[in-house]
Structure 1
Amino acid sequence: MYKILAKINKILLPSFTKQRLDLAKAKKWQMAIIGYRYYVTTHALTNK
């Protein structure tokens, strides 16, 4: 399930690393997206 979510996230959600976003200056909604993407990615990699 997490692998499918990770693929969907890669397509739909913006990549802040490509935009060179400074985490200290990130807005709350940007931090929420970063946290969500991190959560899904780590679970996709660890859960087999």
Structure 2
Amino acid sequence: MYRILAQINKVILPSFTAQRLDLTKAKKWQMAIIGYRYYVTTRALG
């Protein structure tokens, strides 16, 4: 389930690493997306 969700996230959600976003200057909604993507990715790999 998490693998499918990770693939959907890759298509739909923005990639902040490709945009060179500085994590210290990220807004709260950007940090929420980063945290969500991290959670799903770690579950998909494990």
Return the TM-score normalized by structure 1.
0.95
Measure, in 2, the Cα distance between the counterparts of 1:3 and 1:19. Answer: 24
1:9-44 residue CA offsets vs partner (Å, 9 max, x unmatched): 000000000000000000000000000000000000
Runs of 4+ in structure 1 off by over 4 angstroms are none
Gaps in structure 1 of 5+ consecutive residues = none
Q: Secondary structure at the match of 1:17?
A: coil
Q: CA RMSD in A?
A: 0.2
Measure, in 2, the Cα distance between the counterparts of 1:41 and 1:18. Answer: 17
| Count of residue correspondences | 46
Measure, in 2, the Cα distance between the counterparts of 1:18 and 1:7. Answer: 17
Tell whether 2:33 aligns with 1:37: no
> How many percent of aligned residue pairs carry the same amino acid?
83
Gaps in structure 2 of 5+ consecutive residues = none
Return the TM-score normalized by structure 2.
0.99
